[in-house]
Amino acid sequence: MRNLWLFISLFLLAPIIVLSQETPLEKGLKAITKESAQAQLEFLASDWMEGRATGTKGEFLAADYLASMLKFMDVDPAGDKDITQPTREQRWSGIKAEEYTSYYQNMYMIKQLESNSSLSIIANDIEYTFTENVDYSLYGGNSSIKINADLVFVGYGYTSEETGYDDFKGIDVKNKIIIRLNGYPGHNDTSSPGYKKFHKNERYFEYYLNKNKDKIAKEKGALAIIDIYPNLNPKNWIDKEDFSNLSQNESPKSPIYEHRLELPSDNFDTGPLEIYPNNKLVNKILENQGINIEQFEKQVANSLKPNSKSLKNIKLKTDYKVKTKLLHTRNVLGVIEGENKDEIVVVGGHYDHLGASNGFVWSGADDNASGTVGVWMLAKAFKASGIKPKKTIVFAAWTGEEKGLLGSEYFADNPYGGKIENIKFYLNFDMISKDSENDTLKNQARMVYTSYLSELKAESEENIQNYDLNLDMIYRPSVKPRGGSDHTSFSAKNVPIMYFMAGFPVTYHTPKDQTYDINWDKMLDIIKLSYLNLWEIVNEN
């Protein structure tokens, strides 16, 4: 009888014994639930957040909410040091101000309020005056400047180290204004040697082409860039109070595009200025200079030989004036300290979006409330695992991504722990909840990663199979991954990265980016896969 009761007791305890064998990894994985993700995302994407534009009330509300969730999950703060502010009564009772760590990394940005400019061409001692937003548009930084300088035609303003092509070869453009064609040699003739030599079939080829051209112009010391676009559309020059350009068929334009934001600099940095001319201004600049744009493009597309030249007997004069103010904004940071405080892994996604105006709210459910929630779900999962990771994990919600990756750039320059060398890995989420139009099975996703970490692909494939994740993953390795998201701020500092994106939906950057068409299953599977991959990274020796 005694043996029988012992058998029954062991039988009844068996489920408890089985449950107790659940691993820390599995405990964390179970914490990633649709209910938790949905609760956070629907609040972040609600109208109460007013589109979360950088430095606005809506973004501050979102930051407070995100900080409160970290505190609720018992994730420690990783932001700036701050001082408590006792009330008068508390001070009278002996309570003193104390230093503490906040959840906010505070920063200031320079907001451009308004700008205006004048522009004239001086040719053969005659000054020809042109009108802003009629004959040209001009975009500059947050410092006013007057320029009176010579002009240099630099073709496309294009250089290619691998082929040796260089539009700046033998030409000095320092403290001068360059005239530059859009594109690259042969870009408008797919059968030309130039197109075949220089074109790259990459998603962001043109984006990086233009960024690189701007970078080179700045490094060469150009004061301004006159960009010639053959089919320039002056639509954006029209005064907002001219309602003739409004149409029910047009998507409303977010107010975020009306001003620039920049991080403050210790140096006087104006640009270079960017000038977009109409044909009237272009023709006056090139008059009697022996330059025919159409002939030039055909010639260079076939010969692959630059034909840059300084223009004679002509100068351009412009007076650019800008009004600015300082804007206070914040990253939100939490940390789970690991056994090694000096080896840090950062997980991040931007929480800012495009704001609200004229009754429209750019809620940014996918872009990027989804990615922000993904980061916070990983914080929840690693806390639920019940163990201390070997590496320290920082969880970050970035501000200012929509204005140029400003929040993550600031963090990369002022990292948690004080040294960027201590940041061993960065994981980025951006738009992880919706489907591209051609994603008929609704399971496509993309993983960009630093190519020397080739094991990331193998681990991902293994985790997808072992944990039955419904993901058709496209893998995109790169030596130094770049793009229009916050991983670029870390890759630029030689930090290896892994970046997840679900798709490119038709609602991108429109007020229709709401929660009604979110693919919750895909979003959760992306978060689970990242958790599984990250588990190996933060717990390896």
- Whether the predicted pLDDT of 241 surpasses 60: no
**Domain 110-324's class?**
alpha beta
- Answer yes or no: are the C-beta atoms of 291 and 153 closer than 8 Å: yes
Tokens found for residue 452: 């020397």
> Which pLDDT value is given to residue 414?
97
What confidence tens digit (pLDDT) does each residue in 67-102 have?
999 999 999 999 999 998 888 888 898 888 888 899
- The pairing of beta strand 309-336 with beta strand 104-123: antiparallel
- Answer yes or no: are the C-beta atoms of 120 and 136 closer than 8 Å: no
Strand partners, 449: 477, 498
Residue 260: strand, helix, or coil: coil
* Residue with token string 């940390």: 335
State residue 136 phi and psi, 5-degree precision: -165, 165
- Whether the predicted pLDDT of 265 surpasses 90: no
What confidence tens digit (pLDDT) does each residue in 117-176 have?
999 999 988 999 999 999 999 999 888 999 999 999 999 999 988 888 999 999 999 999
pLDDT mean across residues, the chain: 91
- Using alpha carbons, select from 435, 464, 442, 444 the residue that is nearest to residue 530: 464
- Whether the predicted pLDDT of 38 surpasses 80: yes
> Which pLDDT value is given to residue 529?
98
Q: pLDDT band at 109, cuts 50/70/90?
A: very high
> Which pLDDT value is given to residue 267?
79
Strand partners, 322: 115
- Answer yes or no: are the C-beta atoms of 84 and 97 closer than 8 Å: yes
Q: How far is CA 40 from CA 65, 254, 268, 375, 519, in A?
A: 9, 24, 42, 11, 15
N-term to C-term CA, the chain: 52
For 295, what's the count of Cα atoms within 13 Å in the CB-facing half-sphere? 4
Tokens found for residue 386: 């019940």
CA Rg value for the chain: 28
- How many angstroms separate the CA atoms of 73 and 384, rounded? 9
Better-predicted residue by pLDDT, 534 or 20: 534
Residue 25: strand, helix, or coil: helix
- Whether the predicted pLDDT of 407 surpasses 80: yes
Q: Please state which of the ranges 208-222, 309-323, 519-533 shows the lowest mean pLDDT.
A: 208-222
Q: Cα angle vertex 446, ends 444, 450, to 5°?
A: 160
> Which pLDDT value is given to residue 24?
96
Q: Which residues contact 497 (CB under 8 A, 6 or more apart)?
A: 425, 426, 427, 428, 448, 449, 450, 481, 487, 490, 491
Q: How far is CA 361 from CA 59, 176, 315, in A?
A: 13, 43, 46
Q: What is the mean pLDDT of residues 447-457?
A: 96
Q: State the DSSP code for 254.
A: P
- How many angstroms separate the CA atoms of 263 and 213, rounded? 22
- Whether the predicted pLDDT of 398 surpasses 90: yes
| pLDDT above 70 coverage of the chain, percent | 92
- Whether the predicted pLDDT of 8 surpasses 90: no
- Answer yes or no: are the C-beta atoms of 490 and 424 closer than 8 Å: no
- Answer yes or no: are the C-beta atoms of 136 and 277 closer than 8 Å: yes
* Residue with token string 């700046």: 168
Q: What is the mean pLDDT of residues 386-414?
A: 97
Q: What is the mean pLDDT of residues 6-19?
A: 48
Show me where the domains of the chain are located. 24-85+329-539, 110-324
For 183, what's the count of Cα atoms within 13 Å in the CB-facing half-sphere? 18
Q: What is the mean pLDDT of residues 27-43?
A: 97
What confidence tens digit (pLDDT) does each residue in 289-306 have?
999 999 999 999 999 999
- Whether the predicted pLDDT of 203 surpasses 90: no
Q: How many CB atoms lie within 10 A of CB 234?
A: 13
> Which pLDDT value is given to residue 240?
52
- How many angstroms separate the CA atoms of 62 and 397, rounded? 10
- The pairing of beta strand 177-181 with beta strand 224-228: parallel
* Residue with token string 């400003």: 406
Q: Annotate 40-70 with b (16+ C-beta within 10 A) or e (fewer).
A: bbbbbbbeebbbbbbbbebbbbbbebbbebb
* Residue with token string 């061993």: 424
- Answer yes or no: are the C-beta atoms of 121 and 128 closer than 8 Å: yes
Single pTM value for the model? 0.86
Q: State the DSSP code for 291.
A: -
Q: Please state which of the ranges 6-20, 99-113, 263-277, 409-423 shows the lowest mean pLDDT.
A: 6-20
What confidence tens digit (pLDDT) does each residue in 488-521 have?
999 999 999 999 999 999 999 999 999 999 999 9
Q: State the DSSP code for 236.
A: G
> Which pLDDT value is given to residue 467?
97
- Whether the predicted pLDDT of 462 surpasses 70: yes
Q: What is the mean pLDDT of residues 233-255?
A: 61
Q: How far is CA 245 from CA 241, 248, 298, 421, 510, in A?
A: 10, 10, 36, 51, 18
> Which pLDDT value is given to residue 435?
96
- Using alpha carbons, select from 461, 433, 467 the residue that is nearest to residue 449: 461
Residue 482: strand, helix, or coil: coil
> Which pLDDT value is given to residue 250?
58
Tell me which CATH code domain 24-85+329-539 carries.
Answer: 3.40.630.10
State residue 245 phi and psi, 5-degree precision: -90, 0
Q: Please state which of the ranges 328-332, 380-384, 454-458, 479-483 shows the lowest mean pLDDT.
A: 479-483
Which helix (DSSP H) or strand (DSSP E) does residue 5 occupy? helix 2-20
Q: pLDDT band at 10, cuts 50/70/90?
A: very low
Q: pLDDT band at 270, cuts 50/70/90?
A: low
Q: How many CB atoms lie within 10 A of CB 382?
A: 26
Q: Please state which of the ranges 59-63, 232-236, 352-356, 439-443 shows the lowest mean pLDDT.
A: 232-236
Strand partners, 97: none
Q: How far is CA 189 from CA 62, 197, 233, 306, in A?
A: 48, 12, 22, 17
What confidence tens digit (pLDDT) does each residue in 51-65 have?
999 999 999 999 999
- Answer yes or no: are the C-beta atoms of 324 and 112 closer than 8 Å: yes
- How many angstroms separate the CA atoms of 309 and 179, rounded? 10
520-539 vs 34-44: helix crossing angle, rounded to 10: 110
